[in-house]
Amino acid sequence: MVSPQIACEVELLPYTPIPPAPYLDRRVRDVPQLAEIWSYINPFMLYGRHMGYRGDFEKHLAAREAKAVELYNEMEEVKNEAAGFMKVRAVWQFFEAEAEGETLRLFAPDAGEPVQTWKFKRQKTGDQLCLSDYVLDPKDGKRDHVAVFVVTAGEGIRDRAEKAKHEGYYFKSHGLQALAIESAEACAEWLHRRIREDWGFPDPAEMTMPQRFTSRYRGKRYSFGYPACPDLEDQAGIWKILRPEEIGVQLTEGFMMDPEASVSALAFHHPDCTYFSVGESPDGV
């Protein structure tokens, strides 16, 4: 039988320790290793969703089925050409974070006042989840942290795709745009992996890329406009604190990213993170 004193001590132990942020300065980087970034591309998204391949592309390619081989070779030609001009860039930063109810506040180092505040929506049914739930309460005078990032692979892609289209190279036009979109997604996957490593909880050595595509790692990343945080106008907060204009990404009047082949996200470390919907579309319907 556990004594009352021991039981009390167990209850007072922190549920999840706060992992220290590895650095708090803003990081900006060109990512020249396209081959490495492209290794993080989800084949289902590139070949299936964008290029219209029906069936299990990877399985069919491994079996050397003609249509899969033909599409693969055609996309390899697009990639070989894109390797000469595609630019992949990233900007990211760890921020101290505090949560109160549905409100998330981010702080710069040693800042008394928050540099950004978001009010998230909470599920009205089910587990009643809210993104702010994934920020731990301060412990021993230390705040939790959230990582914020923007990546892009879209510089000049629209003009090159339009030029190819006008010249009658329709596959190349569509392929370039698809490759840029999925390169940005791949860079987000690559950068998030690096953030997890820097944060002190790297992926297990045996983790496969398909497991990463289904987020089988600790923590999650969330993008505005998606089910857990559907309000696109909240993107403005990222532009306020991260200044992604430096890597060539602008925010439109409708709070969309320009160029389109860009990804923004908030990354949380909490092991209980899951993807969920607050039950509202981006326009509030």
Q: Are 105 and 112 in contact (CB under 8 A)?
A: no
Q: What is the pLDDT of residue 140?
A: 83
Domains and CATH numbers, the chain: 23-268 (3.10.196.10)
Q: What is the pLDDT of residue 7?
A: 35
Tokens for 264, please give them: 């923004």
241-255 per-residue burial string, b: 16 or more CB within 10 A, e: under 16: bbebeebebebeeeb
Structure-token match 């006042």, residue found: 113
Q: What is the pLDDT of residue 2?
A: 38
In the predicted model, residues of the chain with pLDDT beneath 50 are 1-14, 281-285
Quote the CA–CA distance of 225 and 212 in Å, as a whole number.
Answer: 22
pTM, 2 dp: 0.91
Q: What is the pLDDT of residue 280?
A: 61
Is the preceding peptide bond at 259 cis, omega within 30 degrees of 0? yes
| Per-residue pLDDT reduced to its tens digit, 36-64 | 999 999 999 999 999 999 999 999 999 99
**In 3D, which of 108, 134, 105 has the Cα closest to residue 242?**
108
**In 3D, which of 81, 95, 91 has the Cα closest to residue 34?**
81
Q: What is the pLDDT of residue 1?
A: 39
Q: What is the pLDDT of residue 183?
A: 98
